Amino acid sequence: MSAPEISVILPVYNAERYIAKAVESILAQTFGDFEFLIVDDGSTDGSLSILQSIADRDSRIVLRSRENKGYVVTLNEMLAEARGDFIARMDADDIALPERFEKQMRFLARHDDILAVGTAQLWIDPQDRPLRRFTPPLKHEDIDAAHLQKGEGMICHPSVLMRREAIEAVGEYDENLYGAEDLDLWLRLAEVGRLANMDEVLIQYRFHSQKVGWLQKDRQVRSAITAMQSAAQRRGEQTPNCEKFSNANLPTVASQHLAWTWWALGDGNISTARRYAMLSILQRPFDLTAWRAFCCALRGR
């Protein structure tokens, strides 16, 4: 069997609520020359049965299930199995737009110095409601500076398409940097080539209460600091000031809902803004910032 051009890697753990939409969005790509590697990482919900029913209908899916080993270990297993010249990432709770692969492949064909390309995103809530459009920096220098100095992940991990030879050159994901394994990879790739983002929404990136940045924020911050400091040391540059990351407040449901209110309002998604403004009031009835957001949402501006 000839190797496909793209290997899509998708780790899954207890994602029954979203997994069908995520998988179907990849199968619906206009660029179809890919293998779809999916590992069920010991799910205890109905994820595996959903995956099996979809895999039975499409031979491009290579599905495995085993005991839980963790997200980053699973990513590295799939990297080792991938046969394509390009690696596409996908997460179990996001939705890829149909032309994602086609447009990313076209971009990399035109820019042979680019090792990895991400895209703009439409941020959505757990019920697929639009929160905001987010366009990250597009140029390598701006992306790398944000990664090294601010610890900001400016390439959306589940939106990326990468050259496999570049990953082989710098090494796999660091399993000790859970939560910032992508930031660390972007920093290492930037030391041997260039990164880019496309100014087009090609993925719907979902926010919900089970994301790593919510459940394990402390661990994610520690991993990001380690990745930034290691990169600065490799490059012989001044170590970035990471004090602000160490002192970052952990997110709460109420603070996230308030943020979603402002995101949606700023992007003109008024009905979404009003929904989360109301939730913010119910969660923080004596908080003036919640009432201010609520009034702005009612006015629609």
d(CA 146, CA 162): 19
219-263 confidence digits (pLDDT tens): 888 999 999 999 999 999 888 777 666 656 667 888 899 999 999
Report pLDDT for 79: 98
CATH homologous superfamily of 6-235 equals Spore Coat Polysaccharide Biosynthesis Protein SpsA; Chain A (3.90.550.10)
Residue 20 neighbours by CB under 8 Å, 6+ apart: 50, 54
The answer to whether the CB of 94 falls within 8 A of the CB of 12 is no
Would you list the domain boundaries of the chain?
6-235, 252-299
Q: Which of 45-59, 63-77, 118-132, 210-224 has the lowest mean pLDDT?
A: 210-224
Look up the pTM and report it: 0.95
- Residue 177, pLDDT > 80, answer yes
Report pLDDT for 253: 86
Whole-number mean pLDDT of the chain?
94
The answer to whether the CB of 105 falls within 8 A of the CB of 187 is no
- Residue 215, pLDDT > 90, answer no
- Residue 108, pLDDT > 70, answer yes
Q: In the predicted model, what is the mean pLDDT of residues 39-45?
A: 98
- Residue 208, pLDDT > 70, answer yes
- Residue 159, pLDDT > 80, answer yes
Q: Which of 81-85, 163-167, 248-252 has the lowest mean pLDDT?
A: 248-252
d(CA 277, CA 271): 10
Q: What percent of the chain has pLDDT over 70?
A: 97
pLDDT band for position 92 (50/70/90)?
A: very high
- Residue 70, pLDDT > 90, answer yes
Q: In the predicted model, what is the mean pLDDT of residues 133-146?
A: 97
- For CA atoms 105, 107, 112, 113, the dihedral sign is negative
- Residue 193, pLDDT > 70, answer yes
- Residue 275, pLDDT > 90, answer yes
